[in-house]
A = this chain, B = another copy of it.
Amino acid sequence: MASMRRIGSEDSKTRSALLDAAQALMLEEGYAAVTSRRVAARADLKPQLVHYYFRTMDDLFLALFRRGAERNLQRQERALASPRPLRALWAFSTEQAGTALTMEFTALANHRKAIREEIASYAERFRRHQAEALPPILENYGIDTDALPPLALLVLMTSVSQVLILEDALGVTAGHDETIAVVERFLSRYEGDA
């Protein structure tokens, strides 16, 4: 027995504006700032519209996450297929906005079950995707995949980029230059200078 409540269409311009507002708020002030009232105010709309288009706040978060996830998967595919895939992956994962949003969703997932499941399934899909494309690339570079398995390299790269971005946002930068230099040296060894 589904609810009789009506819901706004997916291609509504108002709906997109609400998602844009929610994303901006999340980046600037964290997920807790994403409330129906504040999202609406940011988009110059009435708070009730949020519930018309998304019913609950969880639905809004899910819609926002999916919109970004789709784009990320496509961009990653392009990165892996590019002439210098390791550099492309590194550039992609050190982008401020995307990673900051991901971190915010991860924090949110800690206490919203519906969101946690969605993020987990996306993350597995994301990594499996990488895991399939990377082995031939590393072998082609002559990297010893026993000493450094493709998945380990991925976890290392994404870990470092995420923490660097996170700390940057806080204003903590000690050790960053040294770490980036180590990564750069590794990348240059196989794919030439930046």
Contacts and interface: CB of A to CB of B under 8 A. Distances in A.
Interface of A: 28-33, 100, 103-104, 106-111, 116, 119-120, 123-124, 127-128, 131, 147-149, 151-152, 154-156, 158-160, 162-164, 166-167, 169-172, 174-176, 178-179, 181-182, 185
Contacts of A29: 110-111
Given A111-B29, A158-B163, A131 B170 contact: no
A106 B155 contact: no
A111 B155 contact: no
Contact of A111 (B30, B103, B131, B185): B30
A21 to B, nearest CB: 16
Interface of A is mostly: helix
Given A120-B172, A124-B172, A167-B123, A179 B162 contact: no
A154 B182 CA distance: 12
A78 B46 CA distance: 55
B162 A155 contact: no
Contacts of A166: 106
B171 A164 contact: no
A185 B146 CA distance: 12
